[in-house]
Amino acid sequence: MEYVSTRGSQGASIDFEGATLAGLASDGGLYVPREWPRLTGTEIAAMRGLPYPELAARVMEPFVGDSLAPDRLRALCEEAYGRFAHAAVTPLVQLDERHWLLELFHGPTLAFKDVALQLLGLLFEEFLGRNGGKLTIVGATSGDTGSAAIDAVAGREGVEIFMLHPHGRISDVQRRQMTSVLAPNVHNIAIDGSFDDAQAFVKRMFGDPELTGRFHIGAVNSINWARLMAQVVYYFAAALQLGAPDRRVAFSVPTGNFGDVFAGYVAHRMGLPIEQLIVATNVNDILHRALSQGDYSAAAVTPTAAPSMDIQVSSNFERLLYDAGGRNAAALADQMRQFEASKATRLTNSQRESIAALFTSARAEPADMTAAMRWAREACGELIDPHSAIALHAARASDLSADVPIVTLATAHPAKFRDAVERATGQRPSLPARIGDLFAREERYAELPGDYAAVRDFIAARATPAR
Ligand SMILES: Cc1ncc(COP(=O)(O)O)c(C=O)c1O
Ligand SMILES: N[C@@H](CCOP(=O)(O)O)C(=O)O
């Protein structure tokens, strides 16, 4: 499989191993497969009932291509998903006649990020083992990617990680899950700013010769294609259980950086019969405005009880705009330059039409989120986290025909957001045993101003040169 950059006017391509280790393309674009692999209905039907690691290997094989032998990919999937606390890895729970919850939080750090990052940690080790050298990972987190990435690479040979989070804007559990990992290859940085600021710094580092000249910079955010690839699998897992490919299924996805829902789009492009993808946002609703009105313009970020979705500049939307615009890299590069300069652009009519064929969107107010948490608790006996509640609200507000099952992606364990869950439901979720002592652990992190040079210099002074 060949990968091209969304902004790559020369059409140069690299393979899966290259895309995984590069993270972001040098022209600032994101890597996408040159074409979407297609599965037939018979091939999809043959995946019914497979154990999750086997399903994962089958779905990902076309994307991995020659970079890994099929048996090796299977072995890595076994290892990655063997660390999950549920035998089904991503179990599907029925809420009522038409609503289902896809629980994506049974991994080591209790959020959906583990599904991809447990595998990505192993892929880094595999590929670096072939080539030697050191990978310096730079990442930005609004709370969940950070701990999942740190768990996946802490103590691993050949990799070090610098993770930026917005100071004071993530939950205490989220922060401690990162800052209490004291392995020498882990560096946490709290910056004075928003997640968007942190993500902009990270993207800038990939084009900064002060760093790229000395270090091999890598990515764990969903700008890295391998992250999305691994997330495609659970759309297949859920839809197959509900009758795919003979029955169409809809998904409601709590959305921030557009990675999770883009993985659903990839599943659809591969041939999984998805009726609709519902993009659910909180009041930081740039994606809702873009999808409903064509207005992709960033406003100031409002802190909410769903902090992981307090995002305005949504990395993976670029991948969708690229595909929806007919894969015209030069036009997309202009559109993204305009957005980067003015924080605003409009979708073209053809982008809007193409996107509307599969996607819809909804914005949840704080009261909607609370009501959804209460309904899940009182009507279905399920405690859900604020992010999942936003998507459940959108699912329940959907006007889809009643015979289409709607799967809400439950992206985080309620214990990560205990205060918000308790405020909404009166019940305080307890920390799972594996992090039961979290509040007794020592924390370590640096505090830096929201200044690119300060962050870059901090990293340059501590990172290990590529060779
Ligand atoms: C718990 C949770 N839900 C939803 C999201 C949004 O997912 P995405 O950024 O892939 O749109 C995030 C952050 O990414 C998250 O941490
Ligand atoms: N919500 C995320 C933000 C980063 O998203 P990513 O999927 O691009 O890594 C977080 O929890 O950090």
User: Which residues, other chains included, contact 254 with Cβ-Cβ below 8 Å and sequence gap of 6+?
Assistant: 260, 280, 306, 309, 387, 388, 390, 391, 409, 411
Q: Is the CB of 105 under 6 A from ligand 1?
A: no
Say if 197 falls within a structural domain. no
What is the structure's pLDDT at 131?
Answer: 79
Residues of the chain with confidence (pLDDT) below 70:
9-11
CATH number at residue 386: 3.40.50.1100
What is the structure's pLDDT at 281?
Answer: 98
Say if 208 falls within a structural domain. no
Q: At what angle do helices 317-324 and 329-342 cross, to 10 degrees?
A: 140
Say if 396 falls within a structural domain. yes
Is the separation of the CB atoms in 21 and 218 below 8 Å?
Answer: yes
Alpha-carbon gap, residue 226 to 297, rounded angstroms: 28
- Cite the active site residues: 113
Q: Which atom of ligand 1 is nearest to the CA of 262?
A: 10
Q: Is the CB of 408 under 6 A from ligand 1?
A: no
What is the structure's pLDDT at 12?
Answer: 76
Task: Tell me how many domains the chain contains.
Answer: 1
Say if 389 falls within a structural domain. yes
SS3 state of residue 312: coil
Say if 363 falls within a structural domain. yes
Residue among 144, 311, 387 whose CB has most ligand 2 atoms within 8 A, to mutate: 144
What is the structure's pLDDT at 11?
Answer: 64
**Full residue range of the structural domain in which residue 245 is found:** 86-111+225-425
C-alpha dist (Å) from residue 395 to 99, 266, 301, 421: 8, 20, 24, 19
Q: Is the CB of 255 under 6 A from ligand 1?
A: yes
Say if 203 falls within a structural domain. no
User: Which residue, judged by its Cα, is nearest atom 4 of ligand 1?
Assistant: 254
Residue among 145, 147, 222, 225 whose CB has most ligand 2 atoms within 8 A, to mutate: 145
SS3 state of residue 136: strand
Give me ligand 2 centre to Cα 221, in Å: 6
Say if 140 falls within a structural domain. no
What is the structure's pLDDT at 9?
Answer: 61
Say if 278 falls within a structural domain. yes
Give me ligand 1 centre to Cα 369, in Å: 15
Give me ligand 2 centre to Cα 11, in Å: 28
Residue among 222, 229, 301, 387 whose CB has most ligand 2 atoms within 8 A, to mutate: 222
ipTM of the complex: 0.99
